[in-house]
Structure 1
């Protein structure tokens, strides 16, 4: 375990270590009428070094003078006026006499602040009731772009993850509201002067309109996990019987009255996965309850506050009768991910934000992969991933989480990490701006992918045992990367530190080039970039690559050599190249594989067979590698299209989902070349139209998830490729809905496609119909579908109206959906950049404290593809302060450069292949 000691010098961005908090007694009063809060905090301290000054974090708060009492002094001391460091979000209190080293002290500070709509700190969220806007309050303390964490904007504290303490929280609120926090309520009473004399001193205007809610004391925890909320909440309740402790844990989900009826599914998911995690990790869930709060306004998807998960409506709500499968998956994923954090991140917490992936990678993997337990496959990944996939596979066997992981996480991670502007998984975070920007696909998806690769290499059982050892060694403490590797090294007897070091500490990933020799294959590793092989200093890293070579024995039985590791620039391996073979069997490795053209042709012939030896994961990986390699000019795009063409008889949805995503990407790159675009659309229709004809437009309950998703995918691709028969069907369904008001003609899984078709190919009436759905959407999913569809109009007046809605009426969390919709409309793809630039100052001020600014930049510019676009983008941002989103900006610029290069080196090739394909069909 890494600890902060008095010998550690206080860096510019870290608090002094002369005192250490051990317990907070926090009282917060919330006034939802005035949209303000105030209170007092008393912090118990261990004085590590003699000092007359106490420095802690505070931002946006009005503070009074502090009072300190020390066991080394006979009387209380009153501080001088607080001294603020606005840049570092700190406050200093100086006292007349020293606090002796080795003593205990208590510092008490009064504070007050405003409930803004910032979606950070202690903030307000709004909802409509009987035509009136009403408010409730909640916290979001994890890192933002203005500070490392935002607990400091709610109460003065030591706001660093390693400075864990216990919290006893008291909430004061209007008597007709509900208070919730990390722990259960011990007392919930209307104010009485006789019962609450101490609070009357603190809040002189208290009367019987107020109530006092006291909560149990928390275990040791980091400040960013503290949570509390106040409002007119209602709840649904369930229970979970825990396998280790035998305890029955109450589970609740809170929401406002208008939303609570859509919360049952999320509650059911939580009840399923919580006991599974306790069993898998072999560590008891330590709290007496686990709540979830649904928020109308929320910057992230969700947040793992210990004992009180919070999240946005689209991540936690659905109407089972009207929800599509994608919405159900999202709720399962989010709840599973956040519950995984109760162990990875909450019990055991990263020492500093450099190690964020120990939280997010684990939660992603655990939530989305699974490990073998009693013959139930539960492939694990770190923090988020381990908990997510493992639990989903057990609790929701109808999903294929290990296969879907390749598209959702692995391919996403490799796409981002193939840019020069990428960053390592473990990345130095000295200041607030850098912390806020690493909540990205590398800390989540690449971290989870690397952990999944390690799990496959050492074996899921040993991996999971090592994870359990890691957790047990750091209960209620903090950790760094090598602490995790130590646990897995112990369970496997392997030097995991040496094996994994470059995977987490170095930028990028390799491409393995395979060349056939007389007795086998020669393999070489180089860093892969979306524009080609890295050179010079950018190509110095040597990774330990588990090659996982798939071959056959003399009897034709499949063999996978999991011991083969490429730990040098080049090496040779003996095998029979006359038979099919493939590296990265199961697509567990975090790398691409480049074969010679002749062998790729053999692979294409093999994948076309109904009884192909290549698994669904292998076929997904082959498609993704081929398209990525063609973009990097390491393979002809025509060869990649030949591979896709060979998969026409493929029946697995997830393979088609990968094909769909890659073909959509190609269409978006050649969006201004009408000849290539029309040929590519014809090719897409030829692939997906047979599924539309076979599966139709209805979604019977007897369908498997694969069939339902394949239907949705095929119809979506045909709509995007302008298949007139599909357009007519979707338009007709919306027309029938407009005429009768019967939404049964709009299946939940097709509402996005139907809304898009209606607006794209319809007129003012269709636009107004979709806008009406946006205004009064029955579910979060339908509202998002309506938002993005409204952006597909070709009419200038309707486009301008949608811009106005996005700027003036949309919730903060929803603006990105509008910009995403505009960026996917050929008519507004460039126009939206001018909208962004014209309103930049307004948008920056609105979103500077959230993650949203980065998303807006990436969404607005990421799809452009000419040198003129690149030059104009550089010119616009030249004089801007981009410190809060510079990573996203750099990645967007890299994306444009890669698109420019792709168009230059592959336009002729793809045109000739498509023309030949068309002539042959």
Structure 2
């Protein structure tokens, strides 16, 4: 689909429309195959003798249609035309079906349960020394067609009645509750005996209640030997009691309670805030051993990888807990955003993801103050992710091929733009507008205009005029602030990673909420949320003799460029105990200073001066921004030993005092902020090579290995300890990490072991790690290996060459999943020379890249930006670091 340019090339014909599916699927986990049949009720929209629908990698039987126009009689296809490129099939019939009538399409199908993590696929697990399999679905965006023939487009909603046939010793799950489950008998199931061969008492039949109208990509079912935990919640609007379950294999189900508890907490909160009843009679979650994405919001049956939903409550670090909270909350929010109300086409995906992201934090919906950790992740991860992609001139939030739309911008830019709007109009009015939007499109499909109309009704403002360019236009602005005698002049231009756009690339005018923070005569700070820059430049009255800042609270999706003199004044204010700049402001200033220096709009040394002024900072939120930016600088100058050594010295001067102050002991009485700050300080001291910290962690790892006792490794230090041991150790430490990887106690332990193995400084061990990505690791874990290896400067070029040498193998293995684009990004975006750029262009020249075209474009632009950064800032950076040494 990514190679086509006209919707007519890949959208289905509109001559017929499905209204209901009756699907029967038999799963044979012994033979790793499935088969079944589907009866699809159709509305005939135009006179036609042809019916086209989606099918991919299925063996289809003869299509039969029973039609009102034929007075209830049936006709069989005369011709079946398969379009392998567009994954669809057209059936020709000997008679014409009349517009305005109804018809029933009956079609059998069969397929293999592959291990490719798309469609209806198989996952493996170990039980009593044997490999066992179960089957589950992953359909978003266009893979329902791999499980059954269908109209696989989001706007073509229909109801679904699903029947699953499986071996009696297995469990079936689907979107809706089971209304009947019986062991197969010829008497009770005569219709099935006629359609499916070899049914006997070893099989059972599970019939499910009919779904509400829904899109094909959120249909879900699974079959296997599952265990489950359960609870229930009483919903605030309907008063109904909703049963909740979480399913997993028996070896890990004991780690699923926390995710179940999160789901029980957030489901009723969302119903109350959105003022729309949760429409289904249950909500399940299935934890999968093999899963391509993080998780999937199938209606009534959320699915996801082990790391997304499992943790050991006695050994879980804070990051693992936060990840489960975020993912489970995000997927539950999708029960409204995406499932009840769905985008009309995939170019509006951000309506699903942005609203789900903006609602995924429970503190947002309880009108309570957010904890620092939740707010940190909102700002640092998502806003920074958004603002890290200004270089892609061909990318807005809409009008992208289906396979490319699933990237950081659909999630983070959409969420951040909506967060900016909520801050501008007020959270309560924003949420009320979202509720109006949902109610106006219950069980329907929507576009951006529909959302803006709902918020406009709630606020009384023209939201379409205010927000349209933030969605439809590429990038975001940088605001240049010039101080005048009476205030400030603010100018907006499109921001690029390499500077300010010029000519036609700089024509967009955004409506920018300025959120001007100023200090009044009484010394108190106030914020003007009414100011909106809706022209190229405008002046504002302001007392510039006192501290001020645009984008108060760092809600806006833009950068702010001040004069060098103003940056010095801001830096001096940051270190004061009564600074008017909030935590969020300090994080925004740090992020802006480095982004602007990368674009050559300010000096990199100014950004370092700002950080130097914050060395007495006490809050994790600010330190998270500092550590992330310094990590990026280290990654850019990774092949400049003198700068790298000076930079590590500076990093040690920042983080070692924190470690000395906070120590290595975690307590239940610690705040979330202190816990995260301690972990951050220790991890970055290790990364910078602080000997005292490295030796402390190595000794703890040795005690663990020698005594099979991990009591000296706090859960929050597991990753740092493993990395320190292997990076500064040898074969013995590597083998110990490999042993943990092979048999991890938790998903977090497995990921930590991967991070450790990829940190080795021994080239022979690096080669062993690379070979693990070819055989010896689950497909879903390969990206963790590449991410770790390209973080390791000694392994970086080896990894890029390894991917090149094995490109065909990786392409064949991952071309149907999202993993391939991540491998491209991890392997190439970290390179820094003109030769790297030319070699990368040459390598991909002539290769089919539609599956990862955006990732490749971003990687190439990253290389270009790094080349420019090194060229214009090396001298400045080196001078500043040497003066501080």
TM-score, structure 2 as length reference: 0.98
CA offset digits 1:25-77 (Å, max 9, x no partner): 00000000000000000001111111111111111000011111111213111
1:667-706 residue pairs with structure 2 within 5 A?
667-706=634-673
Q: CA deviation at 1:368?
A: 3.3
1:373-772 residue pairs with structure 2 within 5 A?
376-377=368-369, 393=370, 398=371, 400-416=373-389, 418-421=390-393, 423-425=395-397, 427-429=398-400, 434-772=401-739
Specify the SS of the correspondent of 1:82.
Answer: strand
Cα distance, 1:10–1:751 mapped onto 2, change above 3 Å = closer
1:866 partnered with 2:859? no
Q: Which of 852, 873, 878 is the equivalent residue of 1:906?
A: 873
Specify the SS of the correspondent of 1:294.
Answer: strand
Q: CA deviation at 1:220?
A: 0.2
Aligned to 1:227: 220
CA offset digits 1:260-310 (Å, max 9, x no partner): 011000000000000000000000000000000000111100000000000
Quote the Cα distance in structure 1 between the aligned partners of 2:567 and 2:802.
Answer: 45
* Structure 1 residue ranges, 4+ long, deviating more than 4 angstroms after superposition: 369-373
1:171-190 residue pairs with structure 2 within 5 A?
171-190=164-183
Quote the Cα distance in structure 1 between the aligned partners of 2:561 and 2:63.
Answer: 65
Specify the SS of the correspondent of 2:9.
Answer: coil
Aligned to 2:197: 204
CA offset digits 1:689-741 (Å, max 9, x no partner): 11101111121111111111101100011101010111111111111111111
Specify the SS of the correspondent of 2:796.
Answer: coil
Q: CA deviation at 1:421?
A: 4.7
Q: CA deviation at 1:552?
A: 2.5
**Preserved CA contact (<8 Å) 2:393 2:475:** no
Quote the Cα distance in structure 1 between the aligned partners of 2:36 and 2:577.
Answer: 68
Quote the Cα distance in structure 2 between the aligned partners of 1:376 and 1:894.
Answer: 41
CA offset digits 1:216-244 (Å, max 9, x no partner): 00000000010000000000001111000
Cα distance, 1:422–1:676 mapped onto 2, change above 3 Å = farther
Q: CA deviation at 1:742?
A: 0.5
**Preserved CA contact (<8 Å) 1:65 1:81:** no
Aligned to 2:22: 25
Quote the Cα distance in structure 1 between the aligned partners of 2:500 and 2:9.
Answer: 38
Aligned to 2:349: 356
Q: CA deviation at 1:403?
A: 4.0
Specify the SS of the correspondent of 2:213.
Answer: coil
Cα distance, 1:372–1:111 mapped onto 2, change above 3 Å = closer
Quote the Cα distance in structure 1 between the aligned partners of 2:81 and 2:276.
Answer: 44
Aligned to 1:278: 271
Q: Kindly tell me the number of residue pairs found equivalent between the two proteins.
A: 879
Structure 1: segments with no counterpart, 5+ residues:
1-8, 144-148, 378-392
Mean Cα displacement is larger for which, 554-563 or 458-467? 554-563
Specify the SS of the correspondent of 1:180.
Answer: strand
Aligned to 1:845: 812
Specify the SS of the correspondent of 1:56.
Answer: strand
CA offset digits 1:235-256 (Å, max 9, x no partner): 0001111000011100000000
**Preserved CA contact (<8 Å) 1:79 1:93:** yes
Specify the SS of the correspondent of 2:266.
Answer: helix
Specify the SS of the correspondent of 2:56.
Answer: coil
**Preserved CA contact (<8 Å) 1:422 1:508:** no
Aligned to 1:313: 306
Aligned to 2:138: 140
**Preserved CA contact (<8 Å) 2:587 2:622:** yes
Quote the Cα distance in structure 2 between the aligned partners of 1:904 and 1:796.
Answer: 30
1:108 partnered with 2:94? no
Cα distance, 1:369–1:424 mapped onto 2, change above 3 Å = farther
Quote the Cα distance in structure 2 between the aligned partners of 1:370 and 1:566.
Answer: 30
Aligned to 1:251: 244
**Preserved CA contact (<8 Å) 1:531 1:901:** yes
Mean Cα displacement is larger for which, 472-481 or 594-603? 594-603
Q: CA deviation at 1:10?
A: 7.7
Specify the SS of the correspondent of 1:72.
Answer: helix
Quote the Cα distance in structure 2 between the aligned partners of 1:613 and 1:40.
Answer: 66
Cα distance, 1:10–1:566 mapped onto 2, change above 3 Å = closer
Aligned to 2:230: 237
Quote the Cα distance in structure 1 between the aligned partners of 2:618 and 2:811.
Answer: 46
Aligned to 1:97: 95
Quote the Cα distance in structure 1 between the aligned partners of 2:197 and 2:411.
Answer: 47
Aligned to 1:881: 848
**Preserved CA contact (<8 Å) 2:373 2:673:** no
1:14 partnered with 2:11? yes
CA offset digits 1:95-137 (Å, max 9, x no partner): 1111111111101000000000110000000001122111000
Quote the Cα distance in structure 2 between the aligned partners of 1:838 and 1:421.
Answer: 31
**Preserved CA contact (<8 Å) 1:192 1:208:** yes
Q: CA deviation at 1:664?
A: 0.7
Aligned to 1:79: 77
Quote the Cα distance in structure 1 between the aligned partners of 2:78 and 2:574.
Answer: 75
Cα distance, 1:634–1:816 mapped onto 2, change above 3 Å = same
Q: CA deviation at 1:878?
A: 1.0
Q: Provide the aligned C-alpha RMSD in A.
A: 1.2
Specify the SS of the correspondent of 1:593.
Answer: strand
Q: CA deviation at 1:586?
A: 0.5
Quote the Cα distance in structure 2 between the aligned partners of 1:342 and 1:22.
Answer: 21
Quote the Cα distance in structure 1 between the aligned partners of 2:786 and 2:605.
Answer: 33
Q: Which of 38, 49, 52 is the equivalent residue of 1:41?
A: 38
Specify the SS of the correspondent of 1:590.
Answer: coil
**Preserved CA contact (<8 Å) 2:79 2:93:** no
Cα distance, 1:548–1:399 mapped onto 2, change above 3 Å = closer
**Preserved CA contact (<8 Å) 1:403 1:616:** no
Quote the Cα distance in structure 2 between the aligned partners of 1:10 and 1:633.
Answer: 40
Quote the Cα distance in structure 2 between the aligned partners of 1:203 and 1:902.
Answer: 64
**Preserved CA contact (<8 Å) 2:280 2:300:** yes
**Preserved CA contact (<8 Å) 1:187 1:213:** yes
**Preserved CA contact (<8 Å) 2:125 2:289:** yes
**Preserved CA contact (<8 Å) 2:269 2:365:** no
Specify the SS of the correspondent of 1:515.
Answer: strand
**Preserved CA contact (<8 Å) 2:373 2:672:** no
Cα distance, 1:238–1:369 mapped onto 2, change above 3 Å = closer
**Preserved CA contact (<8 Å) 2:15 2:47:** yes
Q: CA deviation at 1:14?
A: 0.9
Quote the Cα distance in structure 2 between the aligned partners of 1:910 and 1:157.
Answer: 58
Structure 2: segments with no counterpart, 5+ residues:
1-5
Cα distance, 1:421–1:822 mapped onto 2, change above 3 Å = farther
Cα distance, 1:372–1:579 mapped onto 2, change above 3 Å = farther
1:288 partnered with 2:263? no
Quote the Cα distance in structure 1 between the aligned partners of 2:373 and 2:429.
Answer: 23
